[in-house]
Copies of this chain bind each other. A is one copy, B any other.
Amino acid sequence: MIVAAAARYFAEVGFSGPTRDLARRVGVTQPLLYKYFASKADLVEAVFARVYLDRLDPGWRALIVDRRRPLRARMVEFYRRYTDAIFTYEWMRIFMFAGLAGENLNARYLEHVRELLMKPLLAEISAAAPARKPDIEDMWSLHGSIIYLGIRKHIYQWPAPDDALPAIERAIDRFLGEFAPAARAVSPEVSPPRASTPPRRARS
């Protein structure tokens, strides 16, 4: 209960938020927090583990390298799942707070993303790209165009589409149009029926 409330709390106010306010939210007194965490930094570390390390890569990599499926479908579904996992108030804001505070969380996480997700994705596209092959910077460019949707919504609190999927599909199609035109959607139109999509974003 403490870690869950702390994740929400630190996502709102940052790591400099006083522990007394956090304790009030949990419904306990402030000294009790120090029964379970030796220091405030310990509690922050527990929040990191809960929000990031725990929900890392539930089959994302396997999805990317599954060549039985068309490349575009794999990319769209990967980014759909990925953004479903990270386009949340807590994930986005704690990640930004950590970056600004100089925590090494971001470097650790992004190294993971690069090695386990971006490089495999790059390999898949290169395998399907007859002419010009993308490099890792092209991958980060695509990645950034998608992540920016979450930044607009959760950091800038600036209107962004409720459903990120159409924008994601268009970004992916533009990307494939450059590197693997044969793999992109036949029609420039967006979002085929979306038959077996599970209900998105259960809360918030």
Contacts and interface: CB of A to CB of B under 8 A. Distances in A.
A107 B144 contact: no
Given A144-B151, A148-B147, A157 B14 contact: no
Q: Is the interface of A mostly helix, strand, loop or mixed?
A: helix
Interface in A139-194: 140-149, 151-152, 155-158, 161, 166-167, 170-171, 173-175, 177-178, 188
A126 interface: no
Q: How large is the interface on A (under 10, 10 to 19, 20 to 34, 35 or more residues)?
A: 35 or more
This protein's copies in its complex = 2
Given A141-B145, A158-B107, A174 B167 contact: no
A97 interface: yes
Contact of A143 (B99, B148, B161): B148
A100 interface: yes
Given A140-B148, A144-B149, 12 more contacts: A14-B14, A97-B100, A106-B155, A137-B161, A137-B167, A140-B152, A141-B145, A141-B148, A141-B170, A145-B148, A174-B177, A177-B178
